[in-house]
Amino acid sequence: MKHYKPMLARSAEAPFSSDEWIFEVKWDGIRAISYVKDELSIRSRNQKELTHNFPELSELNDLTGDSVLDGEIIIMKDGKPDFQTLIQRMQNTRPGDISSMSGKFPANYIIFDILEKDGKELLDIPLMQRKRIMENAVNEGKFVVRSLFVEETGVDYYRAVLEKGLEGIMAKKKQSPYEPGKRSDNWLKIKQLMTCDCVIFGYTKGEGIREKTFGSLVLGLYDAAGPVFIGKVGTGFSQEDMEDLKRILDTYTVNEETLPGVDRDREITWLRPGVVCEVVYQSVTDDGKLRIPVFNRLREDKDPLDCTIEQIRPVRSDYDAKRDFTRTPEPPMSKEKSSGKSFVVQEHHARRLHYDLRLEKEGVLKSWAVPKGIPETSGDRRLAVQVEDHPLDYATFEGRIPEGQYGAGTVKIWDRGIYEPIAWGENKIEFIVQGEKLEGMYVLVKFKKAGEKNWLLFKGGD
């Protein structure tokens, strides 16, 4: 049986609203993928089997068949998720304790995605289609429910979630595939506080009242080359917390350095990377360190190798990621917001001549490359390939993109003006343009058979 790693989310700086995204509650629980096959298996992110710890979730066998589901296990107490009780239940191994705890503190499994149905992988199917498959394939029970979501109104939903005392929301792109093990820009977590799951690589020698415990924890995250030092945390502990934590950490001590680049203002006891903690912080400094970090809790459900640097590095747009702004004269992506309705068509002499159609929407220019130019005759259809969103400043850009850069070649404005959207859906966009050359109604229709990014652009009747 194939086992999947869960798709991971990046952090977003603030809530937003968009008709291209859905929004769900971000639950404070244990991520778990369920394999409802001949024998039920529920596995955590680090592949720990959880069916024995949460026997009540065996009702999954009666609610669906031959499917692989992604969701979050939570325990609710006083209207809020109780993470500590959840961890206690996950750690229980004695059958009597497991039975007793499942009666006193039953768990819920909130399902938000489906990865397989009847042996068929669904990873490449867009999220909204997977949601529809999941709704038809999985019934709800006493302990198993499907995640509710809203469309478009992310800002209002975020406020409502915080008023309920919950930690935040998840934003997910409607057209996103499921990307196992990847921390993707297509899923974003939006929380009131910035948090990071960090690996503890060591601790500094304690002084004064901390002489018998430690001074601070040495924290790191992984990038492609190995562990990266991101700072130390010395606050957020009670004395009892520190004593318990030191007993755990001392089972991981080693003689050699395990994290490069650590400032050694105090003696350090090094640890092999086996313990993960959640840290709350205010921001990230220019040199990549956590600013004002505070210890929050241990995360025994997290694998150290899953604690990657992408958690704290700012999300780069696809547009910025493709460009070196020390070489190209193109404008970088900005956070500017605008309610304008401008459009521009740029003639782009790249490797092959094509025309770029850009429509202003939600603070960016939604963009399509049109290889054979914009149709000017009613009924004439042209292929339009959707590309990454461009910044609003690109509407006035003209110049030469140097060799070796993405899109190298000359860009000049072919037409510009304003447009009025008539309808803007997932698969069809209708709009009226008033430009210096173009005028009238245009339609973009998704050309599904030719690929996810391919559309057909044609001019409507006069």
Active centre residues (catalytic): 26
Query: 16: buried, middle or exposed (CB in 10 Å: 19+, 13-18, 0-12)?
Result: middle
Sign of CA dihedral 309, 314, 316, 321: negative
Q: Looking at the chain, how many residues does it have?
A: 462
In order, the DSSP letters of 104-164 are: HS--EEEEEEEEEETTEE-TTS-HHHHHHHHHHH----SSEEEPP-EEE-HHHHHHHHHHT
Nearest in space to 249 (alpha carbons), one of 204, 296, 289, 293: 204
Q: Are 394 and 365 in contact (CB under 8 A)?
A: yes
Q: Hey, is 167 helix, strand or coil? A: coil
Structure letter (DSSP) for residue 197: E
CB within 8 A of 292, min separation 6: which ones? Answer: 281, 282, 283
In order, the DSSP letters of 41-94 are: EEEETT--B-TTT-GGGGGHHHH--SEEEEEEEE-EETTEE-HHHHHHHHH--S
Gap between the terminal Cα atoms of the chain: 58
The crossing angle, in degrees rounded to 10, of helices 95-104 and 83-91 is 160
Residue 304 corresponds to which tokens in the numbers above? 């150290």
CA angle 404, 360, 342 (to 5 degrees): 110
Which H or E run includes 247? helix 239-249
Residue 265 corresponds to which tokens in the numbers above? 């203002």
Q: Hey, is 425 helix, strand or coil? A: coil
Q: Hey, is 301 helix, strand or coil? A: coil
Q: What are the b/e assignments for 113-130, b being 16+ CB within 10 Å?
A: bbbbbeeeebeebbbbeb
Strands 381-391 and 108-117: unpaired
